[in-house]
Amino acid sequence: MKDTFKHRGKRNHLVEVIQQKGIEDKRVLEAISKIPRHLFMDSSFEDHAYQDKAFPIAANQTISQPYTVARQSELLEIQADEKVLEIGTGSGYQTAVLIELGCKVYTIERQHELFKKTKLFLPKLGYRPKRFIYGDGYKGLPEEAPFDKIIVTAGAPFIPKDLMAQLKVGGLLVIPVGEKQQTMVRLERVSDKEFKKENFGAFRFVPLLENKNH
């Protein structure tokens, strides 16, 4: 698990690339500049780790494109110590960005293989989510609700009602919605019963699937 001068140089270049694509939040850019993305991927992809692209990880899933991770993180407007629910732990890269932003992360993954792997791996880099859950993110995590922020990192065919119900008033839910291609949607819970919806353009994610998978 090495992070060399060369890796850091490539990472600084990646930060410039995503900045040019429109990422403005300095704290998000700083998080990306710190996290050794190459260690979250299979070593055969190591040379490509600092390209602004998604790559395959275990269980037919992907590590999201850095621009996408940065955009979702920026849209969440994270403040220190907030309680954040993440659906789709995957490689744990987005989880690490959230932890760098200073929040308490509760993260759920439905692929058992990825859940096991990432649960062991993240603490080795010093990243410790509050809770790692193997489960179905459509249901959220009712026993820890309400959350200040909720992020979904897989394409959802619709916005799960349970996730809306687990958001604090004033809280934000950032979720890519759609089947083949997704629109990045941000919901703000403005009162107990009312949500404000904003759209932030087209993205492509692996699908949010129901139930757990062994």
Q: How far is the CB of 109 from ligand SAH (least distance, A)?
A: 5
Pick from 61, 73, 166, 182 the residue near ligand SAH by CB under 6 A. 61
Q: Are 58 and 81 in contact (CB under 8 A)?
A: no
**Nearest-angstrom CA–CA distance, 213 and 77:** 32
| Three-state SS annotation for 45-70 | HHHHCCCCCCEECHHHCEECCHHHHH
**Nearest-angstrom CA–CA distance, 86 and 67:** 18
Q: Does 154 bind ligand SAH (CB under 6 A)?
A: yes
Q: Does 96 bind ligand SAH (CB under 6 A)?
A: no
Which listed range, 30-38, 41-49, 62-70, 178-186, lies at the site for ligand SAH (CB under 6 A)? 62-70
Q: Does 35 bind ligand SAH (CB under 6 A)?
A: no
Applying the rule CB under 6 A, the residues between 119 and 138 that interact with ligand SAH are 136-138
Q: Does 156 bind ligand SAH (CB under 6 A)?
A: no
**Which of 161, 159, 168, 160 has its CA nearest to residue 188?**
168
Pick from 55, 105, 111, 178 the residue near ligand SAH by CB under 6 A. 111
Q: Does 72 bind ligand SAH (CB under 6 A)?
A: no
- What one-letter code names the amino acid at 105? V
Which listed range, 77-85, 87-95, 167-175, 184-192, lies at the site for ligand SAH (CB under 6 A)? 87-95
Query: What is the residue-wise DSSP string for 9-41?
Result: HHHHHHHHHHHHTT---HHHHHHHHHS-GGGGS
Strand pairing category for 167-177 and 147-152 = parallel
Q: Does 171 bind ligand SAH (CB under 6 A)?
A: no
Q: What residues are labeled active site?
A: 64
Q: Which residue, 88 or 171, has its beta carbon nearer to ligand SAH?
A: 88
- What one-letter code names the amino acid at 78? I
Binding residues with ligand SAH: total (CB under 6 A) = 24
Pick from 18, 66, 70, 91 the residue near ligand SAH by CB under 6 A. 91
Q: Which residue, 145 or 209, has its beta carbon nearer to ligand SAH?
A: 209
Is the Cα dihedral 105, 108, 112, 113 positive or negative?
Answer: negative
Residue 33: CB atoms within 10 Å: 14
Give contact residues for ligand SAH (rule: CB under 6 A): 61-64, 87-88, 90-91, 93-94, 108-111, 114, 136-138, 153-154, 206, 208-210
